[in-house]
Amino acid sequence: MDLHTQVSDRLNDYILEVEDTVGRQVQIEPFSGATTEGPIIAALNVGPSYPNIDIQYRPLRPLKDQSIEKAIAHELTHALQIYSLRYPIIDAPDDVSSEEVQKAADIMDFIDDIVIDTLIQKRGFPPTTPDHLKTFEHNCEVLEHAGNSSSIDAHEEDPIKVEIKFIGDYIYAWGLPRYAVLDELTLGIFKRFTRIFPQVLKHEFKKVRQIKKLMSTYDIFNKNGRTKVIKGSISLWPLDRRIILTPYAG
């Protein structure tokens, strides 16, 4: 696709800047066989099979749509951190299950997403989008109707996965307002979520307190501080200890 004609001038300028800084070409394509349904709007592919900055997106709407542009700008910033600034990423031996690695990656992401969305706002992209806020509103309703943590997601067999997701949402809703400038609607939804969470997820809130303490101790906008917070957060779950954080070698 010709990115220069399908994205806004703002996003096109950012693409060119990232390409120049990283020394890799940006490629943006729809997910293979993608439909308009799914929780992930865009994702950055990293690995030996991806010599370029390879971003896939879910074709919900045209590329110039606010939610799509924000998601792509978000992934471009991840690329800057991984390829140029050498921010450590999740790594593990081949015999560690993909489920374990994904849980560690999800923990890393809910720390990184606060940083990334704050940084892209400074470049003119929205830190949150209507699609994202709808998810938080839905999760507020889920918590309000849940009697306890076991009734949050009856369709998910892995309770650790559910716990990481909701704790990640709390940390994001609590953390982003500390750094980004948010409108009253967004702040209201985030406050609602963080108010309900400890009332329903009392056990899970113990981990929230520990992560908040880590974030108050170390600067997540500093590479070393960010790495300490992520390592400390991952250690709160019984994940395979062979999972490590290391700069991408490719």
* pLDDT, tens digit only, all 250 positions of the chain: 555 568 899 999 999 999 999 999 999 988 876 555 556 788 999 999 999 999 998 887 777 888 889 999 999 999 999 999 999 999 999 999 999 999 999 999 999 999 999 999 999 999 998 888 999 999 999 898 876 655 566 555 788 998 999 999 999 999 999 999 999 999 999 999 999 999 999 999 999 999 999 999 999 999 999 999 999 999 999 999 999 999 998 7
Domain ranges, residue 119: 93-246
Conformational region of residue 2, where left means phi above 0, alpha means psi within -120 to 50, and beta covers everything else:
beta
Q: For residue 149, give the DSSP letter.
A: G
Domains contained in the chain, number: 2
Q: Are residues 134 and 44 in the same domain?
A: no
Q: Is 45 helix (H, G, I), strand (E, B) or coil?
A: strand
pLDDT of residue 146: 78
**Which run of H or E residues covers position 236?**
none
Res 31: pLDDT: 82
Query: Distances from the Cα of 130 to the Cαs of 66, 136, 161, 173, in angstroms?
Result: 9, 10, 25, 15
Cβ-Cβ contacts under 8 Å for 52 (sequence gap 6 or more): 24, 25, 26, 27
Same structural domain for residues 123 and 240? yes
Is residue 66 domain-shared with residue 23, that is, in the same domain?
Answer: yes
Q: Return the pLDDT at 148.
A: 61
Q: Are residues 106 and 189 in the same domain?
A: yes
- Do 79 and 101 belong to one domain? no
Instruction: Tell me, yes or no, whether 110 and 169 share the same domain.
Output: yes
Domain boundary among 20, 49, 84: 84
Strands 89-91 and 26-30: unpaired
- Which uninterrupted H or E stretch holds 210? helix 202-217
Residue ending a domain, among 22, 56, 84, is: 84
Tokens representing 53 are: 């900055």
Asked if residues 185 and 195 have their Cβ atoms less than 8 Å apart, the reply is no
Residues 161 and 207 in one domain: yes
Quick one: 30 and 144 in the same domain? Answer: no
What pLDDT score does 74 carry? Answer: 97
Q: Which residue has the tokens 């439909």?
A: 35
84, 116, 140: which is the final residue of a domain?
Answer: 84
Collapse the DSSP code of 39 into the 3-class scheme (helix H, G, I; strand E, B; otherwise coil) and give the result. coil
Task: Say whether both 99 and 42 belong to one domain.
Answer: no
Length of the chain (residues) = 250
pLDDT of 155 reads 54
Q: Do 73 and 171 fall within a single domain?
A: no
Same domain, 118 and 78: no
pLDDT of residue 39: 62
Same domain, 113 and 190: yes
Q: Are 142 and 152 in contact (CB under 8 A)?
A: yes
